[in-house]
């Protein structure tokens, strides 16, 4: 891929990420098709070749340190959220659960990861109950504040606290979208929130074919 092509892809992805930024309680727009020259026609945004979101190193909800290499051979879907999110996060997770159902046997070649942006409240014990409740194969990842900031920066994920009505309470505004890696561990797609399961199923089948 030429340098100019990379710059075009990067600009499109950054614009999409900005559009996908939501506070919890807001809904995302529908899917957009982005077809790079000579590339497969994905339903979601093709971000192949972007020079970020390369890896992470965080414990899962069982206490095992995880990196992207642990899931080589699988398509990996990475979503950033938090368990007390009122709608964007649970609807995304429910959407991914529907994706897994529609994939049938292929679902065993997909790993969904939920990275919490709220380590202050999202303990491994809480994540172990919350994340697999959508699908037993899903994993929650949680680090300390420094580790969370580091991985959010690597993935260009925005998040900030919004004070609640009660003293000490808060919600989080955060980027509402998911990243998809192919079975070789390469970043391939950015998935917008709220589009339904079918476009994601379509793209995962292409990545797994």
Could you list the residues known to form a binding site for Cu cation, using ranges: 85, 89, 174
Q: N- to C-terminal Cα distance for the chain?
A: 22
Q: Could you tell me which residues are annotated as the binding site?
A: 85, 89, 174
Distance between CA 184 and CA 164 in Å, rounded?
Answer: 42
Structure tokens at 191: 């998935």
User: In terms of Cα–Cα distance, which of 134, 140, 60, 61 is closest to 100?
Assistant: 134
Those residues with Cβ within 8 angstroms of residue 7's Cβ, 6 or more apart along the chain or in another chain: none
| Angle between helix 88-103 and helix 197-208 axes, rounded to 10 deg | 50
Output the CA angle 152-155-158, nearest 5 degrees. 50
């Amino acid at each position: 891929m030429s340098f100019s092509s990379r710059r075009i892809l990067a600009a499109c992805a950054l614009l999409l990420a900005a559009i996908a930024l939501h506070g919890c309680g807001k809904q995302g727009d529908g899917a957009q098709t982005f077809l790079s020259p000579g590339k497969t026609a994905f339903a979601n945004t093709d971000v192949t070749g972007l020079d970020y979101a390369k890896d992470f190193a965080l414990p899962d909800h069982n206490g095992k340190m995880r990196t992207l290499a642990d899931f080589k051979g699988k398509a990996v879907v990475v979503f950033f959220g938090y368990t007390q999110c009122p709608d964007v996060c649970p609807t995304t997770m429910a959407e991914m659960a529907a994706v897994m159902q529609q994939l049938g046997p292929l679902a065993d070649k997909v790993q969904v990861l939920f990275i919490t942006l709220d380590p202050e409240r999202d303990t491994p014990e809480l994540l172990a109950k919350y994340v697999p409740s959508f699908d037993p194969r899903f994993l929650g990842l949680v680090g300390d504040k420094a580790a969370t900031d580091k991985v959010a920066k690597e993935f260009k994920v925005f998040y900030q606290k919004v004070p609640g009505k009660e003293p000490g309470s808060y919600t989080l505004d955060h980027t509402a979208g998911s990243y998809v890696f192919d079975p070789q561990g390469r970043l391939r797609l950015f998935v917008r929130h709220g589009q339904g399961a079918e476009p994601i199923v379509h793209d995962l089948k292409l990545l797994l074919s």
